[in-house]
Amino acid sequence: MTLKEIMQKDLARIVSDLDSPTFTWNGEEYLCIASSLGEQLVLGADGGFESVDGLNITVSLDQFSDDTLPKEQQIVTHKGKSFRINKVNQNITDAFIRLICVSISRGV
């Protein structure tokens, strides 16, 4: 079994243990591991601080049927809340990607 296959199997187990959470992208639902859901303070345009929601989503690449993957600035929805993808990090084994997301109003 390759490292990629091991990682995909482990991700599937974690998703199952978490009761199969999902996110929606491009009109489709994908199983995921969502982490770091919360607020952070960032410097706003007016010089003050503003609260920004953030979310990290880990999703196995074997769920995508073609080479179309989420990209920066696209919108995802998790637990009824929309987020903008700020960055897409690909795992070195090509087993999964991690979507670093922020409030919909950020990253425009």
Map out the domains of the chain with their CATH numbers: 3-103 (2.40.10)
Query: Model-level pTM?
Result: 0.83
At residue 99, the pLDDT reads 96
At residue 53, the pLDDT reads 72
What is the mean pLDDT for each group of 10 consecutive residues in the chain (108 residues)? 93 94 96 78 64 85 88 95 94 93 74
At residue 98, the pLDDT reads 96
Q: Distance between CA 5 and CA 23 in Å, rounded?
A: 22
Provide φ and ψ at 42, rounded to 5°: -130, 160
Which tokens hold the place of 57? 């989503």
Give the side-chain half-sphere CA count within 13 A for 50.
12
